[in-house]
């Protein structure tokens, strides 16, 4: 994560925000998910395109993903990628999303999903710049 985060600094402003899991507050699973959704949606700014990570979402190849990043840049949009906790994301987050993105049809632990995502974001920037990282 640190390696890709520092590589990304050459291309964009990147911030990793970890919200506390609401399940630690002794809420029932549904209520914990709703509390997490509220905290996620409260962070959204008007210029953000929210991208919800979910295995049931849309599959893009790396070139298609780089075009999506390019479109956000052209439209002066900030991308807010959201990865769920153990219980996944609540429907309200998926409904608010500009894109629901799948990295694979398999369910990944959230830290692994985060690592795959950041590498793909880095790859996307190298593609947009025409740099020789992507083979």
Ligand X SMILES: C[S@@+](CC[C@H](N)C(=O)[O-])C[C@H]1O[C@@H](n2cnc3c(N)ncnc32)[C@H](O)[C@@H]1O
User: Which is nearer to ligand X, 6 or 20 (by Cβ)?
Assistant: 20
**End-to-end CA gap in the chain:** 21
Return the number of other C-beta atoms located less than 10 Å from residue 45's C-beta. Answer: 8
67 annotated to a ligand binding site: no
Residue holding tokens 């025409």?
A: 130
Q: What are the Cα distances from residue 69, in Å, to 58, 91, 105, 128?
A: 15, 24, 22, 9
Ranges within 30-69 binding ligand X (CB under 6 A)? 53-55
Q: Does 106 bind ligand X (CB under 6 A)?
A: yes
Residues contacting 37, CB < 8 A, separation 6+: 89, 90, 92, 93
Q: Does 102 bind ligand X (CB under 6 A)?
A: yes
Q: Shortest approach of ligand X to residue 132 CB, angstroms?
A: 27
Q: Shortest approach of ligand X to residue 28 CB, angstroms?
A: 16
**Residues annotated within a binding site:** 53, 84, 103-108
Site for ligand X, rule CB under 6 A: 53-55, 83-84, 86, 88-89, 102-104, 106-110, 113
């Amino acid at each position: 994560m640190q390696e890709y985060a520092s590589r990304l600094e050459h291309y964009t402003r990147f911030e990793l925000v970890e919200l506390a899991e609401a399940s630690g507050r002794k809420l029932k699973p549904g209520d914990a998910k709703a509390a997490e959704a509220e905290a996620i949606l409260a962070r959204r700014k008007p210029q953000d395109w929210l991208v919800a990570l979910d295995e049931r979402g849309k599959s893009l190849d790396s070139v298609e993903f780089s075009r999506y990043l390019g479109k956000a840049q052209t439209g002066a949009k900030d991308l807010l990628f959201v990865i769920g906790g153990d219980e996944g994301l609540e429907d309200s987050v998926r409904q608010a999303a500009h894109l629901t993105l799948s990295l694979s049809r398999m369910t990944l632990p959230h830290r692994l999903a985060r690592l795959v995502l950041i590498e793909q974001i880095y790859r996307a920037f190298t593609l947009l710049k025409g740099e020789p990282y992507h083979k």
